[in-house]
Chain A
Amino acid sequence: MKKNKKMILPLVSMLVMSILLSACGGGNNASSGENGSSGLGKVTISFMHWRGEDSEAFNKTIDAFEKENPNIHVEMQTLPSDQYQSTVQSKISDGSTGDVFASFPGAQFQAFSKAGLFTDLTGSSFLSAYNPKLIEAGQKDGKQYAIPYQLVYNDPIYNVKLFEKYGLTPPKDWEGFLALCQKLKDNGIIPIAFAGADIGPGQFMNTMVMNNAPSDDIFTKVEAGEAKLTDEFWVKTLTQIKELNDKGYFQQDALGTKDPAAGALFIQEKAAMLASGSYQLAQNKQQNPNLEQKLLAPITVSADQAKYEGVHTTTFMLAVNSKSKHPEEAKKFLEFLSKPDVAGAYANQTGQNVTVNDVKYDTPELQVAGEWANKKTVFQPRFTILNGDNQKAVTNSIQAVLSGTSPEEAAQQAQAIIDQHIGK
């Protein structure tokens, strides 16, 4: 009896361990049956993405989809974007979860397409619902692997009322932009709120480089060793960013300012421009309902040399997992999301513009970004840098000039890092 008692503890421990381990292994698709079937011919598909803040809007979309397709149940799983970036590949790679999943453009899209995680959507009828130019980011080797669902304009936001108060209009060239900043500064307004500690360099570099770059694929050439950051286009861009900083057109100590703090300066109307993008419009308005906002891109060249008026990014790229056991049902869900009324409801609830055609936007903020559909914009140059280390080297060279390094030296330091990746 005593010996039996001795055995109880190890056995209980083993039992607990096995329950724990099996719970870890089975966490991906807890409520789905085998093969994603959840009884009586009903199929469960998993929808994985990083936009937890859109869950409420997506839940309504899913409800409507399930009403229309009673045999398909959609299970949504969201992860914070950092976590999504680091763990999604392990979750979706065996097809047990993420029948429909979202991907970031750039490095993640490249890695996933190389790994064959995307189902080829080329020729799907629902693609015609999208603006063809805006879904190019989801293409590779002529095939449509993912559909960028969200449309963002990565152009600085400006306070319309403040501009009107000082008689300012969006300038057409670099001299005009400097004069505008000076006037704001002279009137005690911070010209540009710049989140130098985190998102600022990665956002602001896009509009600053768009007209300086000799070609749209300049960063692709840099990564291939066919161009260098020490070339004129990047040194000029760094010089102009340094000029803005040295003249006091960013808030003081911009390099120590994070996104929320820079946003607060703009929302409190202490700053006239915010170096972020259209994705921030709705949030700003929520925090200061008196704000009237529009987008403005600094033109870094003379008016006649300007190729582009701004920058756009198409992101939140929706795809069907190539390992999915229910690709048809997954495609059906994508088809449903592609309907203008469904996409419109999502856009109006979340405050994000979409790439779907004929969507009606309800709020002024969405309409502001919608107006930019007719302007000449280029796809976000930063996302054309496919290696994460290289991207960091580029944005860090901006931080370097803001901390006092000369543009030439900062470009050289960044190029040295990129040189280590060339050919690998």
Chain B
Amino acid sequence: MKNRIQLSLFLLPGLLLYVGLFVFPTLTGLFYSFTDWDGVSPSYAFVGLDNYKDSLSSIVFRKAFGNNVEFMLTVVIAQTFISLVLALLLVRNTKTKVVLRALYFLPAILSSVSVGLIWAFMYDPSIGLINYGLNEAGMSSIARNWIGDPKIAIFSIAAVQVWAHAGQMMIVFIAGLQGIPAELYEAARMDGGSKWQVFRTVTWPLLAPSATIVVAYTTIQSFKAFDLIFTMTDGGPNYATEILTTYIYHTAFGSYSFGLASAGSMIFLVLLALLTLLQFKALRADRVSY
């Protein structure tokens, strides 16, 4: 009994952090979501479900949700594909490939705010490196107003998100690839399988757990993106890159509507929890053993 008490003491630091940094703020947010608190006044009134109704009927909230889904799908598809291709190309442990892996992984350790600021500068249509490079290379027709054109701005930022995290996901795929027994490839080749057949029947099924991790992680990471969009466009132009997190930020700190922002946060939390649940189920269903 005494031993159990002693052991449970080990849980305390983590538990305190969890309660202090997650449970308490979440419950406080839930409480304020039913009020008209402006974030400054000592007083507030209870408004019932009004904030939830206002959020769900808000033109900007709906636009932000649509952008969020668009951003997430673009990042998930592009990042999973690119990281898989990189992993297949760099799976062997040669010196060059190890160096290349480190290079591709490098953006993941950079601060996302720095990444956002640098890329915003590179995307600049007047003095940015990208359009300058395209023009110099005689490819002016490809040059675009990357983050100023509402039709492509969200994809331009998604590209930066993929650039920053594809290397990280490549490492997950490489770990998965290196765990596939070599004899399975030998057997497949002896059976006369082409490269594509080997990939389809051996590599991909056994890589499924890694792919599920990559998709799950990327989905959640891209759904709750904030830093890149905040630093690159702040939701603009004309709400073209406004996502739920920037909407919540603007509502709280631009309009001093903390009650409304809290309701937005709660809806966001539920959406994120649902996504995580779906991913978790998929993760369990896709488990493959050999």
* Residues of B contacting A282 in the complex (Cβ-Cβ under 8 angstroms): none
**Contact status A114-B38, CB under 8 Å:** yes
Judge whether B256 is part of the interface by a CB distance below 8 angstroms.
yes
A299 on the B face (CB < 8 A): no
Whether A175 is near chain B, meaning CB under 8 Å from some CB there, is no
Which of chain B's residues have a CB closer than 8 A to the CB of A255?
145, 148-149, 237
- Taking a contact as CB atoms closer than 8 A, the residue among A9, A256, A260 that contacts B10 in the complex is A9
Do residues B58 and A420 form an inter-chain contact, with CB atoms below 8 A? yes
Tell me if B254 and A107 are in contact (CB < 8 A).
Answer: yes
Question: Using an 8 Å CB-CB cutoff, how does the interface string of A210-225 with B read, 1 for contact, 0 for none?
Answer: 0000000000000000
CB atoms of B38 and A85 under 8 A apart: no
Is B192 an interface residue when CB atoms closer than 8 A count as contact? Answer: no
Most-contacted residue by chain B among A14, A112, A262, A403 (CB, 10 A):
A403
Number of CB contacts from chain A to chain B under 8 A: 144
Verify B146–A403 contact, CB threshold 8 A.
no
Question: How far apart are B219's CB and chain A's nearest CB, in angstroms?
Answer: 28
On whether the beta carbons of A392 and B254 are closer than 8 Å, the reply is yes
- Is A399 touching B9 in the complex (CB atoms < 8 A)? no
**Distance, CA A420 to CA B250, complexed state (A):** 16
Question: Is A168 close to B, CB under 8 A?
Answer: no
Known: A14-B12, A416-B59, A420-B58. A197 touches B147 (CB 8 A): yes
B289 contact set on A, CB distance < 8 A: none
Q: A7-B6, A115-B41, A388-B255 are in contact. Are A258 and B120 (CB under 8 A)?
A: yes
Contacts of A119 in B (CB 8 A): none
Known: A14-B12, A389-B60. A256 touches B145 (CB 8 A): yes
Q: Is the CB of A403 within 8 A of B12?
A: no
Interface: A287 (CB within 8 A): no
Contact partner of B250 among A114, A261, A265, A388, CB < 8 A? Answer: A388
Q: Within 8 Å CB of A258, what residues of B?
A: 120-121, 124
Q: Residue of A at shortest CB range from B41?
A: A115
Interface residues of B in 109-156 (CB under 8 A from A): 120-121, 123-128, 145-150
Query: Chain B residues near A110 (CB, 8 Å)?
Result: 256
Q: Do B256 and A108 have beta carbons less than 8 Å apart?
A: yes
Residue of B nearest to A92 (CB): B40
> Which size class do B's interface residues fall under?
35 or more
Q: B11 — nearest CB in chain A belongs to which residue?
A: A10
State whether the Cβ of A23 lies closer than 8 Å to any Cβ in chain B.
no
Q: Is the CB of B237 within 8 A of A197?
A: yes
Interface residues of A in 383-403 (CB under 8 A from B): 387-389, 391-392, 396-397, 399-400, 402-403
Q: Using known A-B contacts A252-B125, A403-B150, determine if residue A396 contacts B38 with beta carbons closer than 8 Å.
A: no
Whether, in the assembled complex, B218 has its beta carbon less than 8 Å from a beta carbon of chain A, the answer is no
Q: Is A22 located at the chain interface by the 8 A CB criterion?
A: no
Give the residues from 236 to 280 in chain A that come closer than 8 angstroms, CB to CB, to chain B: 251-258, 260-262, 264-265
- A/B interface sample: 18 pairs, CB < 8 A: A14-B12, A14-B13, A17-B13, A21-B20, A86-B252, A114-B38, A116-B42, A197-B147, A253-B126, A256-B149, A257-B148, A261-B121, A388-B254, A392-B250, A403-B148, A403-B150, A405-B238, A420-B59
Contacts A10-B6, A388-B253 known; 20 new A-B pairs at CB < 8 A: A6-B6, A7-B6, A13-B13, A85-B254, A108-B256, A114-B38, A116-B42, A197-B236, A198-B234, A253-B145, A253-B148, A257-B124, A260-B121, A387-B255, A389-B250, A399-B236, A399-B238, A405-B238, A417-B60, A420-B54
Q: What residues make up the interface of A, taking CB atoms closer than 8 Å to B?
A: 3, 6-7, 9-11, 13-14, 16-17, 21, 85-86, 89, 93, 107-108, 110-112, 114-117, 196-198, 251-258, 260-262, 264-265, 387-389, 391-392, 396-397, 399-400, 402-403, 405, 416-417, 420, 424
